[in-house]
Structure 1
Amino acid sequence: MKTTLEELQAFVAVVDGGSITAAADQLGQTVSGISRALGRLEKKLETTLLRRTTRRTELTEEGQAFLHRTRAILASIDDAEEHMAARRQQPAGRLRVNAATPFMLHAVVPLVPAFRQAYPQITLELDTDELNIDLLARRTDVAIRIGPLRDSTLHARPLCTSRLRVLASPAYLEAQGKPRSVADLSRHTLLGFTQPESLNRWPLRGAHGDEWPVVPGITASSGETLRQLALQGVGIVCLSDFMTAADRACGDLVPVLAKDTVDVRQPVSAVYYRNTQLVARIACFLDFLQEHMG
């Protein structure tokens, strides 16, 4: 595009005001600034739009044709600005959210109906992954991350914390016996994570301090898989409260070694790329999560 918005606005203001002086007053610019803008516009279009004399300014035939289209262009810009203002008041558009499968299932999905009711014009796209993803590569707006954050290129919004507990099903404990001490765990089937290895250091007091490194008999990449194994009575597991609250409430999973368990709470954060101004659909989602999870 050769012409600029400033030049188009100057042209219309001169026509509507009847003179360059009136246009300058309307736009809050100098007379020379308006005159130069008109000169640049006519030079770019290689035509004369206005015949200017000391007494009056009138449109040429080419100017009349160009005026009609210019008004349409400026009206479209005004409409686009009003549309964006409306989106800020009523957020809309596609929102891509990434989280680990267990957190998505147990913490985010239950909140979706209320969020959709509050923001019906936002289209949610929910993506799950057990590893920390590259937000830009996956075109993700918001990712939920559990544990300490290390990526300094991201903004982070703290949402809540979630306590770690050692759990087992009543059926497993009935069949295998309940461990009376941390050392007794060596005689049990332990369910652990494939990675990261830090998740296989359970918050138990013992010879190693306030962390007990376990050697899992069965490993999985997803906490949800470990939860299902524990529910089936396969072994003892250490999981975060956000995915086991309902199981503990109904007695399907019960605490193991509660008196030896250290109160360790994992931080839960929403992360997004740094930008100068957060778009409305992301801001309202972050506010919603913080309100309902905090």
Structure 2
Amino acid sequence: MAVFLQVARTGSFSAAGRAVGMTPSSAAKLVTRVEGRLGARLVERSTRRLRLTAEGELYRQRAEELLEELDALDAGIAGGAAAPKGLVRVNASVPFGRHCLLPLLPDFAAAFPQMRLELSLTDAVVDFYEARCDVAFRVGGLADSGLAAVRLGLARRRVVAAPSYLAARGTPKTAADLESHDCLGFAFRRAAAVWPLKSGGRLVDREIRVRFAVGDGETARELAVMGLGLARLAEFHVAADLAAGRLVSVLDDVVVDAEEIHALHFGRRNLPSRIRIFLDFMTPRLRAALAAGNGPR
């Protein structure tokens, strides 16, 4: 299992062999033997890089858990309460990662000096399995994925603009006023040029005029601070800017939408200790921050 995991991590029999002190051919034969015993191909072999099959990905996940349990058993018998250790792969959107997760990392690193994190921040929707995530933080509705979901709270949306923009273009008072304003939108394929706003006592999708379309929320926030238009962003994302006066919230009486935030992970009964430790640390702190209406500072 240890050799197979090295192959999965490095994508190479040569690199895996070096990591465990074996020749490349020995590492390849070992994996082939495992495949023969299981009756399933675990690795797709090519001239460029090895790639796990769906069965190989399943075997990798379970092998990591089993070896971690063995390490914990050895440590418990040999040394009593050993310090928690292991790698946790985390995926989150750029705004949530920068404004909510990153501020908590110094305390996490101090509390668990032997724990390691691999942090991937992107506003593009990534496949949990393809990206090999251990924990993914998601804002918005959840697909039926079979993953376990830990609810963290709500992200209320705000429409914000810089004081310089409002001084030059005026402050919108109603949803209809957006027709004469520049708005900041997103360049994702799934993104539509509409904002859900309250009108006539119900929530409707109001079409907006997108002047600048960007690939992530943090860029939208920065353009808003520069005075380039109105942006619709999560409250935790702009809390510091609102407090400092860099941004002003507008249309508060018609912007009433909010999205749920969850931490997703594989929903197995025996959660690996490295993932449980990470979630036990982050969950109460993120819940408290979101309940207060802003990210950790």
> Shared fold by TM > 0.5?
yes
Quick check: which has more Rg, 1 or 2? 1
Q: CA offset at residue 78 of structure 1?
A: 9.1
Q: Is the 8 A contact 2:158 2:235 kept in 1?
A: yes
Q: Is the 8 A contact 2:93 2:122 kept in 1?
A: yes
**Of residues 107, 121, 125 in structure 2, which corresponds to 1:128?**
121
Structure 2: give runs of 5+ residues left out of the alignment. 1-68, 288-297
Partner Cα distance (1:102, 1:132) in 2: 14
Partner Cα distance (1:278, 1:218) in 2: 43
Instruction: After TM superposition, list the pairs within 5 Å mapping 1:14-163 onto structure 2.
Output: 81-83=73-75, 90-163=83-156
**Of residues 237, 244, 259 in structure 1, which corresponds to 2:238?**
244
Aligned to 1:233: 227
After superposition, the C-alpha distances for 1:151-190 in whole angstroms (9 at most, x for unaligned) are 3221111112110011101010001111122111111101
Aligned-residue identity in percent = 38
Aligned to 1:270: 263
Q: Indicate yes or no: 2:210 matched with 1:216.
A: yes
* TM-score normalised over the length of structure 2: 0.67
- What SS class does the counterpart of residue 210 from structure 2 fall into? coil
Aligned to 1:290: 283
* Letter paired with 2:225: L
Partner Cα distance (1:260, 1:140) in 2: 37
**Of residues 259, 272, 297 in structure 2, which corresponds to 1:279?**
272
Partner Cα distance (2:284, 2:140) in 1: 20
**Of residues 167, 174, 181 in structure 1, which corresponds to 2:174?**
181
Structure 1: give runs of 5+ residues left out of the alignment. 1-76
Aligned to 1:260: 254
After superposition, the C-alpha distances for 1:202-243 in whole angstroms (9 at most, x for unaligned) are 242226941323232221121111111100000001000121
Partner Cα distance (1:288, 1:160) in 2: 16
Partner Cα distance (1:253, 1:79) in 2: 50
The 1:130/1:261 distance shift into structure 2, 3 A limit, reads closer
Q: Is the 8 A contact 2:225 2:246 kept in 1?
A: yes
**What RMSD over aligned residues (CA atoms) do the two structures have, in Å?**
2.5
Structure 1 residues 244-253 or 190-199, which shifts more?
A: 190-199
Partner Cα distance (2:237, 2:224) in 1: 12
- What SS class does the counterpart of residue 126 from structure 2 fall into? coil
- What SS class does the counterpart of residue 263 from structure 2 fall into? strand
Q: Is the 8 A contact 1:135 1:273 kept in 2?
A: no
Partner Cα distance (2:219, 2:161) in 1: 14
User: How many residues in Structure 1 have an aligned counterpart in Structure 2?
Assistant: 217
- What SS class does the counterpart of residue 283 from structure 1 fall into? helix
Q: Is the 8 A contact 1:158 1:269 kept in 2?
A: yes
The 1:274/1:87 distance shift into structure 2, 3 A limit, reads farther
Q: Is the 8 A contact 2:138 2:263 kept in 1?
A: yes
Partner Cα distance (2:70, 2:145) in 1: 38
Partner Cα distance (2:72, 2:276) in 1: 21
Q: Is the 8 A contact 1:191 1:236 kept in 2?
A: yes
Q: Is the 8 A contact 2:124 2:188 kept in 1?
A: no
Q: CA offset at residue 137 of structure 1?
A: 2.1
Q: CA offset at residue 135 of structure 1?
A: 2.4
The 1:80/1:140 distance shift into structure 2, 3 A limit, reads closer
* Letter paired with 1:107: C
Partner Cα distance (1:116, 1:274) in 2: 25
* Letter paired with 1:247: D
Q: Is the 8 A contact 1:87 1:280 kept in 2?
A: no
